[in-house]
Amino acid sequence: MAHARLSLPRNFHRVSLACYYPPSSRPTVATRTFASRRAAAISTPSGLDSDHHLSAAREWAARLNSKAITIPRDICEISFSRSSGPGGQNVNKVNSKATLRVPLKSLLPFVPQLLHAPLQASRYVAAKSQILVIQSDESRRQTANVEACYDKLHQVLKSIAEDTIPGETSQEQRDKVQKLKKAANEARIKSKKLHSSKKSSRRGSYDD
Q: Which residues lie below 8 Å from residue 27, measured CB to CB, with a gap of 6+?
A: 21
Cα–Cα distances in Å, from 9 out to 5, 12, 16, 20, 30?
A: 13, 5, 11, 17, 29
Give the per-residue pLDDT at 33. Answer: 39
Which helix (DSSP H) or strand (DSSP E) does residue 192 occupy? Answer: helix 171-207
Asked whether the predicted pLDDT for residue 72 surpasses 90, the reply is yes
- Please give the average per-residue pLDDT across 179-204, as a whole number: 79
Query: For residue 134, how many other CB atoms are within 10 A of its CB?
Result: 19
Cα–Cα distances in Å, from 25 out to 11, 13, 29, 31, 75?
A: 20, 17, 12, 17, 54
Give the per-residue pLDDT at 174. Answer: 62
pLDDT band at 208 (very low <50, low <70, confident <90, very high): low
Give the per-residue pLDDT at 132. Answer: 97
Give the per-residue pLDDT at 197. Answer: 79
Asked whether the predicted pLDDT for residue 13 surpasses 50, the reply is no
CATH architecture of 49-162: 2-Layer Sandwich (3.30)
Give the per-residue pLDDT at 103. Answer: 97
Instruction: Quick: pLDDT tens for 124-161.
Output: 999 899 999 999 998 889 999 999 999 999 999 999 99
Gyration radius of the chain over CA positions: 33
Say what the pTM is: 0.57
More confident residue, 5 or 94: 94
